[in-house]
Amino acid sequence: MTNPNQLTIAAARDALRKGELSAVDLTMSCLTAMDAGDDLNAFVHKTPDIALTQARAADVRLKAGGAPDLCGIPLGIKDLFCTKGVASQAASHILAGFKPEYESTVTTKLFDAGAVMLGKLNMDEFAMGSSNETSCYGDVINPWKIDDRKLTPGGSSGGSAAAVAADLCLGATGTDTGGSIRQPAAFTGITGIKPTYGRVSRWGIVAFASSLDQAGPMTKSVRDAAIFLGAMCGYDAKDSTSANIPVPDFEAALTGDIRGKKIGIPKEYRMDGMPAEIEALWQNGIAMMKDAGAVIVDISLPHTKYALPAYYVIAPAEASSNLARYDGVRYGHRAKLAAGDGITEMYEKTRAEGFGPEVQRRIMVGTYVLSAGFYDAYYNRARKVRALIKRDFERVFDAGIDAILTPATPSSAFGLGEMASADPVEMYLNDVFTVTVNLAGLPGVAVPVGLDAKGLPLGLQLIGRPWDEAGLLNHAYVLEQAAGFVAKPAKWW
């Protein structure tokens, strides 16, 4: 017997509409699972009262008929989203005690569609990290376990990934600046899509790197991603980069037919020292697409190698500017001051106490690359390289490629603490396959495809044309059906 919290969004939606399940019962099932999942440290601010109020309202709407897809569906919300009256800290001490007076556009849309918020989810501080080890709330633990070690769920949307993989909720919001939806999705055996830049409003989401940030859903299936994404998208006048274009019916696009579609395989993604298992997984994925009738085409994206260094100039530069607002004046933490301390001491002490080491490092890197004398050498050069990376993709799509298939991550989940003594740059290499997509503003989706020899999930990534999330999700759906990935982590928590 499946417990309601183990359902997919699609199955729960159908059961709710048929009256076989109530939103309150479904929500209670998730709240129970959430409380039993405390060892994972995924939920950091629980909102059971809000959840039950929303679930009761959803039941009324469902009874009346014509309720939206997400009506009565219990979700987890990444701590990066501002939720009115509910702690929204971006997993940082500097936002301790912050309770927004407003609701982000994404959560407003979800709640308008009848979705239920179970609580706020752990993440890397300000979404800066690839292992969820930089959070002020402590590490998130991956529900997948193969020995005595605790494994990372990936980052920065590690709480979202762990909560979905462990069935604490039916789906969760994530955000992705360099891979923060796709890498944790791959590490936990779930689906995660980063939409085209401008597809989802950034209003009310704590900013990290504004030209790269994009929110998206993390779910148990591709169909769920299509349903959930549809509810998040749409034009928003409050985000000046929001695209004023129609949102297609993503679920209706899941035909499973990709015959004649051209799938590009970029040779530059075959990295030196890439584990044989990742290469084998990639080859399996290629064979699956071919079996489905797609045409496989070898392509070249020549500037791929420069994506990570360009990203680690641009993202910290934007972060140093965005995070200047945390000054101890308008919200969050203010340091205790000594006698005679002036406003400069207040800023410096507040920011030293409030920001963790990785965030401080990135702010300082950003400050450096934007400082007089280095702006051209680093920041402008990185923006030129970014233009070249985008041009690589444009040329490939202009040549008729419909989607690009790559590995999602260079490895499966690693142990928490195993990278502690590593150089910060080594951690950055986790994003090697995902970061190009953010730099080019494209949609990308991670789909679980298999287990490695250790028994941990591995995913592949599909990259789509701008604004073609519908086509991209259909390709992902074909991959999902062919791979038949159904493994779940054995419950130990």
- Among positions 95-124, residues that touch other proteins (CB under 8 A) are 97-101
Residue 393 binding other proteins, by CB under 8 A: no
Which residue stretch of 59-67, 152-160, 167-175, 237-245 sits at the interface with other proteins (rule: CB under 8 A)? Answer: 237-245
Closer residue to other proteins in complex, CB, 60/343: 343
Candidate segments 114-122, 144-152, 167-175, 326-334, binder of other proteins by CB under 8 A: 326-334
Q: Do 461 and 434 touch, CB atoms closer than 8 A?
A: yes
Least distance to other proteins from the beta carbon of 122, Å?
A: 21
Would you tell me how many other CB atoms lie within 10 Å of the CB of residue 27?
A: 28
Degrees to nearest 5, angle at CA 351 with 346 and 357: 150
Comparing CB distances to other proteins, the nearer of 211 and 284 is 211
Q: How many residues bind other proteins (CB under 8 A)?
A: 73
Residues 291-310 that bind other proteins (CB under 8 A): 303, 305-306, 308-310
Q: Angle at Cα 433 formed by Cα 431 and Cα 438, nearest 5°?
A: 75
CB of 250 to other proteins, least distance (A): 19
Least distance (Å) from other proteins to the CB of residue 245?
10
Residues 6+ apart with CB under 8 A from 78: 120, 121, 123, 157, 159, 160, 172, 173, 174, 175
* Residue 15: partners with Cβ closer than 8 Å, 6 or more residues away: 7, 21
Residue 170 or 313 with smaller CB distance to other proteins: 313
Catalytic residue among 22, 46, 78, 160: 78
Q: Binding marks (x or -) toward other proteins, 248..287, rule CB under 8 A?
A: ----------------------------------------
- The interface with other proteins within residues 436-475 (CB under 8 A) comprises 439-441, 466
**How far apart are CB 434 and other proteins at their closest, in Å?**
15
Whole-number CA gyration radius for the chain: 21
Is 180 catalytic? The answer is yes
Q: Which of 287, 352, 399, 490 binds other proteins (CB under 8 A)?
A: 352
Nearest residue (CB) to other proteins, 244 versus 255: 244
Which of 60, 252, 280, 387: binder of other proteins (CB under 8 A)?
387
Q: Which of the residues 22, 29, 104, 156 is marked catalytic?
A: 156
Task: Reply yes or no on whether 78 is catalytic.
Answer: yes
Sole binder of other proteins in the list 262, 386, 465, 475 (CB under 8 A): 386
By beta-carbon proximity to other proteins, the closer residue of 45 and 149 is 45
Contacts of 35-39 with C-beta under 8 Å, sequence gap 24+, read 36/493, 37/163, 37/166, 37/168, 37/493, 38/493, 39/141, 39/493
**204-223 footprint of other proteins as x/- string (CB under 8 A):** -------x------------
- Closest to 125 (Cα-Cα) out of 138, 109, 111, 106: 138
Under the binding rule (CB under 8 A), the answer on residue 349 touching other proteins is: yes
Which residues is 265 bridged to in the sheet?
A: 298
- Least Å distance between CB 195 and other proteins? 12
Scanning 3-11, 91-99, 119-127, 131-139 for contacts with other proteins by CB under 8 A, the matching segment is: 91-99
Q: Which of residues 49-78 bind other proteins (CB under 8 A)?
A: none
CB of 310 or CB of 408, closer to other proteins: 310
Which residue lies nearer to other proteins by CB, 296 or 324?
324
Kindly indicate which of the ranges 119-127, 291-299, 419-427, 446-454 contains the residues binding other proteins, using the contact rule CB under 8 A. Answer: 419-427
Cα separations (Å) of 461 from 178, 202, 346, 444, 473? 13, 23, 45, 7, 11
Q: Which part of the chain contacts other proteins (CB under 8 A), choosing from 112-120, 135-143, 420-428, 453-461?
A: 420-428
Residue 74 CA to residue 50 CA, distance in Å, equals: 11
Applying CB under 8 A, which of residues 345, 418, 454, 484 lies at the interface with other proteins? 345
How distant, in Å, are the alpha carbons of 378, 396, 458 from that of 287?
41, 21, 16
Q: Which of residues 359-378 bind other proteins (CB under 8 A)?
A: 360-361, 363-365, 367-369, 371, 378
Q: Which of 14, 25, 327, 452 binds other proteins (CB under 8 A)?
A: 327
Structure tokens at 27: 């929500």
482 binds other proteins (CB under 8 A): no
| Token pair recorded at residue 42 | 């995924």
The rounded distance, in Å, linking the Cα atoms of 33 and 220 is 16
HSE (side-chain half, CA atoms, 13 Å) at 254: 17
Residue 444 bridge partners (DSSP): 194, 463
Residue from 22, 135, 180, 412 carrying the catalytic annotation: 180
Residues in region 179-208 near other proteins by CB under 8 A: 196-198
Question: Which residue, 14 or 327, is less far from other proteins as judged by CB?
Answer: 327
Among all residues, which ones are annotated catalytic? Answer: 78, 156, 180
